[in-house]
Amino acid sequence: MDEKKIRTEVGELGEFKLIDRLTKPFETKNPTTTVGIGDDCAVITPNGDKMVVTTDLLLEGIHFDLTYFPLKHLGYKAVVVNLSDVYAMNAIPSQITVSIGISKRFGVEDLEELYAGIKLACDRYEVDLIGGDTSSSYTGLTISITAIGHADAKDIVYRNGAQINDLICVSGNLGAAYMGLQLLEREKRVFVSNSNTAPQLKGYDYILERILKPEAGRKTINALREKGITPTAMIDISDGLSSELLHICKNSNKGCRVYLERIPIDEQTVQMANEFGIEPSIAALNGGEDYELLFTVPITDADKIKTVEGISIIGHITDAAKGAFLVTPSEDEVMLTAQGWNAFTKE
Q: Which of residues 328-347 bind a second copy (CB under 8 A)?
A: 342-347
What is the rounded distance in angstroms from the CA atom of residue 183 to the CA atom of residue 206?
12
Using CB under 8 A, count the residues that bind a second copy. 72
Based on CB atoms, which residue is closest to a second copy, 91 or 263?
91
Q: Does 133 bind a second copy (CB under 8 A)?
A: yes
With 0-12 / 13-18 / 19 or more C-beta atoms within 10 angstroms meaning exposed / middle / buried, residue 299 is middle
Based on CB atoms, which residue is closest to a second copy, 33 or 268?
33
CB of residue 268 to a second copy, shortest distance in Å: 28
Report the site for a second copy in 2-31 (rule: CB under 8 A). 10-11, 13-15, 18
Among 64, 72, 74, 131, binds a second copy (CB under 8 A): 131
Among 88, 129, 212, 265, binds a second copy (CB under 8 A): 88
What is the rounded distance in angstroms from the CA atom of residue 26 to the CA atom of residue 72?
15
Among 19, 57, 164, 299, binds a second copy (CB under 8 A): 57
Based on CB atoms, which residue is closest to a second copy, 40 or 303?
40
Task: Answer left, alpha or beta for residue 140, where phi above 0 means left and psi between -120 and 50 means alpha.
Answer: left
CB of residue 231 to a second copy, shortest distance in Å: 12
- Write the single-letter amino acid at 229: I
Q: Which residues contact 50 (CB under 8 A, 6 or more apart)?
A: 91, 150, 151, 152, 153, 156
DSSP string, 152-181: -GGG---SS---TTPEEEEES-SSHHHHHH
- Write the single-letter amino acid at 154: K
Q: Does 62 bind a second copy (CB under 8 A)?
A: yes
Among 45, 197, 222, 253, binds a second copy (CB under 8 A): 45
Based on CB atoms, which residue is closest to a second copy, 25 or 48?
48
